[in-house]
Amino acid sequence: MGKERLVEIKVFGQTYTVKTDAEEDYIQEVAKYVNEKMEEVLKKTKSVSTLNVAILTALNIADDLLREKEKRTSLLREVEAKSRDLVEKIDIKLGGMEFEKPPITG
């Protein structure tokens, strides 16, 4: 993220100027993604209404986002459980060992 700028993008044949602090390449990638999703919807629905295509695309993107959030949450829970298990195993192993204090030098 850097300084705010205006970036011109094209979505579904319409040109938009976006004010952003993100890199232009990133914003262009976002626009490309939206265009691809809109084309997918258009092929599946054969709708001629730009508004309908836009709304269905927004719903599809929201669905993708929520599914990815759910996957992320599930993976984080799995990592936390495995981490607790490892810590417990390490504690058990270390519990039976005695450690020597290193000599004080200086």
What is the per-residue pLDDT across 44-88, written as a single tens digit (0 to 9) for each? 997 779 999 999 999 999 999 999 999 999 999 999 999 999 999
Closest CA to 9 of 30, 38, 36, 37: 30
How high does pLDDT run on average in the chain? 91
Cβ neighbours of residue 3 closer than 8 Å, sequence gap 6 or more: 21
Whole-prediction pTM: 0.72
pLDDT above 90 for 12: yes
Closest CA to 1 of 17, 18, 23, 16: 23
Domain residue ranges in the chain:
5-70
Task: Give the model's pLDDT for residue 104.
Answer: 77
Beta strands in 1-106 (DSSP E): 5-11, 14-20
